[in-house]
């Protein structure tokens, strides 16, 4: 019998978060704070209807050779970001939302989640045209695209493109530390690249 049958999306997300043992103290503290919020607010905290502060889910999609990350030029934010968005009512958990968003925004159906748990939590204030949203608790997951996967632009983005990991510090500094952290959370990910 499937152990998550009957669980709400918030409960599944809490299980995924609790299974993750972050390597750094800052990520541990963010994860623990988020677990507390999810326990107190339940599924409402996964919804944009929660108000000013709530969970979003993102997916850092690596190329098959693990040398590049797929980013979208986000229409509302006006900057290059990982793929992701709000958890929708039909999503079973934040992980399910992250993969759905990655497939929709990146146009790549064949994605494989690298680990079952999140690899990153980022709490940030919003700027731009985000309406009532003021703070997102973004739960980050990691997936790898099939060899030769070609992205496609969605309605939510102005562009999507592969960005070499080696260039992020110079080209996308706002993402460089976050991606370096998630790579550190998955030892061996880059050392065992397929050729």
61-87 confidence digits (pLDDT tens)? 999 999 999 999 987 777 899 999 889
d(CA 129, CA 119): 27
Q: According to CATH, what is the number of the domain 9-185?
A: 3.90.79.10
Domain ranges of the chain: 9-185
Phi and psi based region of residue 11 (left: phi greater than 0; alpha: psi -120 to 50; beta: remaining): alpha
Which has more confidence, 184 or 190?
A: 184
d(CA 151, CA 139): 22
User: Average pLDDT in the 137-160 region?
Assistant: 92
User: Average pLDDT in the 180-188 region?
Assistant: 81
CB 81 within 8 A of CB 144: no
Following DSSP, what letter does each residue of 2-47 receive, concatenated?
A: -TTTT--HHHHHHHHHHH---SSHHHHHHHHHHHHHHHHHGGGGGS
């Amino acid at each position: 019998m499937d152990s998550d049958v009957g669980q709400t999306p918030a409960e599944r997300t809490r299980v995924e978060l609790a299974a993750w043992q972050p390597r750094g103290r800052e990520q541990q503290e963010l994860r623990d704070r988020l677990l507390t919020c999810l326990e107190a607010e339940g599924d409402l905290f996964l919804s944009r209807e929660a108000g000013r502060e709530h969970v979003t889910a993102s997916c850092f999609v690596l190329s098959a050779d693990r040398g590049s990350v797929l980013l979208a030029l986000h229409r509302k934010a006006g900057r290059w970001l990982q793929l992701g968005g709000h958890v929708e009512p039909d999503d079973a958990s934040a992980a399910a939302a992250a993969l759905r968003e990655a497939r929709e925004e990146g146009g790549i159906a064949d994605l494989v989640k690298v680990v079952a748990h999140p690899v990153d939590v980022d709490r940030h204030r919003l700027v731009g045209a985000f309406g009532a949203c003021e703070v997102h608790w973004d739960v980050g997951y990691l997936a790898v695209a099939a060899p030769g996967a070609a992205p496609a632009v969605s309605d939510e983005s102005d562009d999507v493109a592969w960005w070499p990991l080696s260039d992020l510090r110079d080209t996308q500094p706002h993402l460089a530390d976050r991606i370096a952290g998630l790579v550190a959370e998955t030892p061996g990910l880059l050392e065992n690249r397929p050729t």
